[in-house]
Structure 1
Amino acid sequence: MKEKLDELKKQGAKIYSFSKLGTFNNCQYEYYKSYINKEKGIENVYTLMGSQLHDGIEAIYSNEKTIDNLRDDYSNKLVELDLLGVKFPNEKIGDSWKADIGHFLNNFNKIDKKMLLEKLIVFEIDDGIWMQGYIDSISPSDHGKPFVNIIDWKTSSKFSGKKLQEAGRQLLMYKYGLEKTTNHKVDKIMWFMLKYVYVCHKLKNGKTKQKMCNRGKWVKEIKKSLEKDLHNLGIEEFELELLLDKAIEENKLTYLPTEIQSKYWLEDCVVEYKATEDNLNELKDYVLKTINEIESKNKKNEDEWEPVEIDKYNSFYCSVLCGHRKTCKFYKQYLEENADGFDKKDKKDEFDIFG
């Protein structure tokens, strides 16, 4: 695949990645600065820590590192970024993210299957239009050869609504590309959501109920169920509150009665995305439509590349995630026009990103 990619580049072929298309649909001006002007943007804490965790997980599955190595690397990277001034949007958000990932690392369960890691795929999606991407992991399916499963490690928040479809397209692209370039048939496409865990317990009918919770506060998120369990055991209200407060503070059930401790268990949060025929057709339409729009733009005329419409709902992306947040004239204009709407602290924090 690497040789194929190099050859295509020599030929001047049109080669796109899923992230490249996503950038264009998110903000054409960001695409222009990144891919037309070739301006190197700045990283953010989420992408840097996400890459570090991806690399560490890959190293564990390739038997190059242990989980202890990964924990140490993770802690050192956080310290390094803090010293460099690469921070989370605020302390509360940072503490929550670190609590979720910390729980994942402290409760790491290695999947007991052989895995092909960081698989490069290069495939032609239409005449003269090529896509490339790296699949995090490919593992054997329970259905046997030639079936495989695709797993993508995610450190982001869970997907819903429009975000679910956008993220699902990437998994669909991996499936389409792998089946087009190999003899494999993809059984399941899945995300391994590092920040989340399934809290499980048995129902009276014998079925298992799962609740998707943030790892760093999973006990708090099942508080109502725990209250009911404690009431059923006849625990007095005062003692009940003390027990729950301690369990939530420690994010463990250790201090609760053994009947409750044995009722619940945790499972890693692996979420499947259904690869329907409609979804696959929508993916191809999305790719071709986006590429046609990109190719129709005048690469020498900056004004043709429209910025995302910035408002209070999406300004987080512009202020934290965009690689050109310190130089974007549109975001700077947004801050200046809305300066009166920020309180003094927020205003200072927003303008500080421009140094």
Structure 2
Amino acid sequence: MASSRHPLRRTVAAAVALLALATSAACGTDAAAGGRQTTELRYQGSVGQVTLPELAADLGYLGDVKLKWIGNVTGGPQDIQATATGQSDFGGAFNGAIVKLAAANAPITAVVSYYGSDAQTFQGYYVLNDSPIRSPRDLIGKKVGMNTLGAHAEAVLKTWLVKGGLSAAEIAKVELVALPPVNIEQSLRQQQIDVAVLGGVIRDKAVANGGIRTVFTDYELLGAFSGGSYVFRDDFIKRNPQTVKAFVTGVGKAIEWARTQPRETVVGRLESIIAKRGRNEDPSLVRYWKSTGVAGKGGVISDREFATWIDWLADAGELKGGKPKPSDLYTNEFNPFASGGGA
């Protein structure tokens, strides 16, 4: 199990260093000769789960654009670093991680929301039923397991701790532990960690297994919001605007398809996608699917979804110089739902 106090600062620095080496090579790989726009997008997936682009492709919403799976990822910061350095064409992460990477001069832009929290789908902070942990102060000296450091789970946790009156020195005594998502529930039950951050279908499966209770959730703390976005490199967008538009439109349509279909229909489609792609995965997780959690129609991004984390990072001393404006970090230019279209 990996533990760190300042993971985001180090991972962003590494990504920016790699970016300098990769930019020249990446520039020539995403557009065909003669100025034609690429119709293939390299991406990273998630074990036992179906991403919105994968759902969009299966529904036929991406048109001529094809997806090329290059492997799986366990955390958003690594996913968008791969995009920034040209290893993949798009990636998704918590909006705060996007703020941090963009503030470190990585030329990326968010184009569509892909996950969030609502009354059905959220990230919860769970303990065993007999745990004494109930308030922020109870976490001092305890271990909290989450899928990746420096992202959504850490930001929400520290926001809760600050609101609970903990000082910076006291918050530093809460140990954060990075674990593969599929192992977090087991680590809690084996008491290797004191608190487990669980979201989506992984959370629902853990709750169904019994023996755990909620301390708090991001939905209780912040209300309904979109928490993460897909990003492209700026140079990719410049050379392939129609490809990006097809991607954003398709993802937006997939969000609305999932929002309007019976739950059983969505789950059946997700199971079918996992079976067809042949990656030797357990499909049981998607049977707990409830919603995407995306707040905006068709994944339209709002200022609030970046402003919240810009302020948090600035208060934590993670942003050097002036705070970026939300509008500098994302665009709804390619999303037909932003102007009432896309149906």
TM-score norm. by structure 2 comes to 0.25
Task: From the two aligned structures, give the one with the greater helix fraction.
Answer: 1
Q: Name which one, 1 or 2, has greater alpha-carbon Rg.
A: 1
TM-score norm. by structure 1 comes to 0.24
1 or 2 for the larger relative contact order (CA 8 Å, sep ≥6)?
2
